[in-house]
Amino acid sequence: MSTKMKILVTGANGFIGQRLCETLLNAGYFVRGAVRHFPEGLHSLKSGNNAEFVFIDNVSPETNWSMALKGIDCIIHLAARAHIMRETSGDPFTVFRNVNAEGTSLLARMAADAGVKRLVFLSTVKVNGEGTDKHRFTERDTPNPRDDYSISKWEAEQALHNISDATGLEIVILRPPLVYGQGVKANFLRLLDMVNKNIPLPLSMVNNKRSMIYIGNLVDAIIRCIEHPDAVNKTFLVSDGQDVSTPELIRMIAGAMGKKARLFPCPAPLLKMIGKVVGKSDEIERLTGSLRIDSAKIRRELSWTPPFTMEQGLRMTADWFISNEKNI
């Protein structure tokens, strides 16, 4: 591994970006973090010989990346407009497309012009679809994105391959499922809180299977894609490699917290009906539906093995939550 390779990380002050930057620095890379504001939590990038910040207001079709790209060998593009539960934009798809598709396309074109060798793009398994039945998602599946976020990510993937064909810029695409770990937010954070508070949950009858990925495993996979010659112009689905049902997940979280899970039965159709009534259909679907990933390709072609088991990842996540409960 080169100790001189210069990496631009967009979204460096995000959940994944902070962990990635810290790990890259520890591995000897030079890291330039593209951020919208100074990240209080990102202590490892507080300027040194191997780290610096560059401020980027927004990712858009008009963003000027010139300063950020100077001397860069590889970009890890994390910055994106994520799925928003309470949408406020009058035209959300246009906003998603501007940031995730057109903004990514501009970055890739400018990167190619600046002599950047490779761009690693964090997409989403939602490009494959919203859920699985009998078969796991693979890279061979016909994409079936269903919402504005996943459609914009799929458009970005296609644009990146077109730019690669035209310019020679090497592209690597990763499609992870739900990412958990220290610093996690949204639904997973709420689940941690409910389990910690011993709130009874009506989920003991749920019989699903879902793939997830611990942040430490995702960061390790991203770093594997930076220099590996067999990653060029490929797409990889990536996960912990262990599928769990929602009740199993809750029991594992409870165990990591030193508690006993409090689950009681409620038929899945009734849960879904309640979800519709209260406007929480998406959340209920994620709790009751299945989404399984086959990550054999990245393991086989890049010789990648997750450094952490799911049990280890959940324990570290639970320890972080308990230690920071008052500040979350």
132 within domain boundaries = yes
What pLDDT does 327 receive? 84
Task: List the catalytic residue out of 29, 149, 180, 214.
Answer: 149
Domain residue limits at 91: 6-175
* pLDDT, block means (10 residues), the chain with 328 residues: 80 95 94 83 63 91 96 97 66 93 98 98 98 96 97 98 98 98 95 97 96 98 97 98 98 97 94 90 91 98 98 98 89
For residue 180, indicate whether it is catalytic.
no
256 within domain boundaries = no
What's the pTM value of the predicted model, to 2 decimals?
A: 0.95
161 within domain boundaries = yes
44 within domain boundaries = yes
SS (H, E, C) the chain: CCCCCEEEEECCCCHHHHHHHHHHHHCCCEEEEEECCCCCCCHHHCCECCEEEEECCCCCCCCCCHHHHCCCCEEEECCCCCCCCCCCCCCHHHHHHHHHHHHHHHHHHHHHHCCCCEEEEECCHHHCCCCCCCCCECCCCCCCCCCHHHHHHHHHHHHHHHHHHHHCCEEEEEECCEEECCCCCHHHHHHHHHHHCCCCECCCCCCCCECEEEHHHHHHHHHHHHHCHHHCCEEEECCCCCCECHHHHHHHHHHHCCCCCCECCCCHHHHHHHHHHCCCHHHHHHHHCCECECCHHHHHHCCCCCCCCHHHHHHHHHHHHHHHHHHC
150 within domain boundaries = yes
What Å distances lie between residue 311 and 111, 199, 211, 242, 324, CA to CA? 39, 22, 13, 10, 20
What pLDDT does 228 receive? 98
117 within domain boundaries = yes
What pLDDT does 279 receive? 87
What pLDDT does 1 receive? 46
237 within domain boundaries = no
59 within domain boundaries = yes
Please report, for the domain that includes residue 86, its CATH number: 3.40.50.720
> What's the total number of domains in the chain?
1
